[in-house]
Chain A
């Protein structure tokens, strides 16, 4: 690897990290304001213009709070828990192609040919954070919450993997660049990636990926992990101060990664008809494509928040039933149908 390549990777890393870490507080304030709006309230609107500095105040509060480690907790694992929740999704951004290429530079930190497998493996590490956090707390409620959360994550990872496989089948590659380029040329994954016959597969796959990613992130219709009603807060009962904030923000980072992934796999990545031109590699066109990507991600995030404040929670057996009895067979059938369609259409 030459020095210029390394320099480019460093620049892209800084840009992506800056985007991610400015999105997380923005997401928190968006979530709280929208929650207020949906419930007929204003939400936090005192700190800064329209309450935009509220996350900053939250962070200051979290830092100044007493950081308690329970007496009989395993200190090392107790510290490792939040970090393992926070870091893996942040690493996952490395393979997201967030824009059309500028010159000969692809807007993607690491151009891995096994991109999606990397993201899948990184996402499953997130389960360890939750499990370790709950286990190390030495608290029955935390342990039960962690068990629940990890069971939920593992069962929905199946659906997640199978729907991602759908996108891989459409593009015939696990490289995110190829997947996006395929969608740019043939049509978005949500409409079947080119063949009209595959339209139902695309729509179903997108819907299942969307719902499964909500379950993966412990978002509200599936927030068994938190279960404040029956498990006193679940796996992060014993966490306070900045460690709790790590859990909290890790959830949002994972949500952002999920939205990026959905956009990359099914919603055409940085491409939007008549706005981005895939053959134009100038700086302006590149920036426009980044804007389109971010707009798509933001729309998805808005829908995530919107759903959270609309729906009540599932019961735990309903959640597992939905995961194993509905989504798993459906996604398998979906893949089989797409395979058959591919054989007959593409030959």
Chain B
């Protein structure tokens, strides 16, 4: 019990000491126009095309995994009930 209490105190103190170094993200970070972001890409830079491409690649990879999964299931079934 005592050990647990010491451990809890340690954790709390660690948390507190970590807090002083934290940088808090505020709303002003979202509207800080001084920092360059891909704003142009968003308005007319066709970023959605890239997102679409990545998404399609992921769909392809998932389908591939799905097919492998089905094939393994089939093999497992064949092994359980031999055809001979």
Q: Do A and B come from one complex?
A: no
Using a CB–CB cutoff of 8 Å, the interface residues on chain A facing chain B are none
